[in-house]
Amino acid sequence: MRQGWRKGPWTPEEDELLKEYVKSHGDCKWSSVARLSGLKRNGKSCRLRWVNYLRPGLKRAPFTPLEEGIIIELHAIWGNKWSTIARYLPGRTDNEIKNYWRTHFKEREDKPYRDHKQKDKFEAPTSDAFLGQNKKDHCQPDGETRDHKMNDEQGYDSSSVGDQCLPWETPYPEIPYWPDLVVGDDPFLWAGGLWNFDDDLVVLS
């Protein structure tokens, strides 16, 4: 392994270098980023910085109650499949959702409502509020939530869309599913052209 990679917080100069690199080479080939961009960061660090911070279309705004509801529901289905959950929340990264879950819900999962200061805040709307009545139609017949450690045998059909782990049936047809290869970095989608959580869910016709 190559020694001497820089670590720690990114500087604005490094961000600019990385943006320039992605502009000219695309957001791939992270292994060559150090050689081609002049950055003293390894590929993984560059990829992480790009995906979680620099990528166009990231919201970087507080989670809305609607987004909270989506996270709660999808986590109940998929568990800690943060990247999968993130595909349903354009403009949000898996890291962002993971952090949000840990700070807002994980403690309560262990000790419900322990945090008196957050109790009221936790009254997040259930997805019923925005998913309508047919939620159960797309869950397990007995209404059980699936094991959080669901694996391929239990439900993923990873053959459907390349490496995208689609559930064997989309749990919520009301929520457009956005695998990366569909959404990509389309500024229109990421900018909320189809999604506007500040108001209401805009469903594709």
Structure tokens at 138: 């797309």
Q: Which residues pair with 173 in a beta bridge?
A: none
Asked whether position 31 contacts DNA by CB under 7 A, the answer is: yes
Nearest 5°: the CA angle 163, 177, 55 is 75
- Rank residues 94 and 172 by Cβ distance to DNA and give the closer one: 94
Residue linked to tokens 């419900």: 112
Q: Is 64 an interacting residue with respect to DNA (CB under 7 A)?
A: no
Asked if 154 interacts with DNA (CB under 7 A), we say no
Residue 40 contacts DNA per CB under 7 A: no
Residue 83 binds to DNA (criterion: CB under 7 A): yes
Here the contacts of 34-37 (C-beta below 8 Å, separation 24 or greater) are: 34/5
Out of 25, 98, 108, 138, point to the residue binding DNA (CB under 7 A).
Answer: 98
**CA-CA distance, 73 to 81, in Å (whole number)?**
12
Cβ proximity to DNA: between 7 and 142 the closer is: 7
Enter the DSSP assignment of 160. Answer: E
- 128, amino acid identity: D
Q: Of the two residues 20 and 107, which places its CB atom closer to DNA in the complex? A: 107
User: Does 44 engage in binding with DNA (CB under 7 A)?
Assistant: yes
Contact 161, 167 (CB under 8 A): no
Q: State phi, psi for 58 to the nearest 5 degrees.
A: -70, 140
User: If binding is defined by CB under 7 A, does position 60 make contact with DNA?
Assistant: yes
Candidates 59, 75, 81, 92; binder of DNA (CB under 7 A) is 81
Which chain residues interact with DNA by CB under 7 A? 6-10, 28-31, 41, 43-45, 47-49, 52-53, 60, 62, 80-84, 94-96, 98-100, 102-104, 107, 115, 117-118, 163
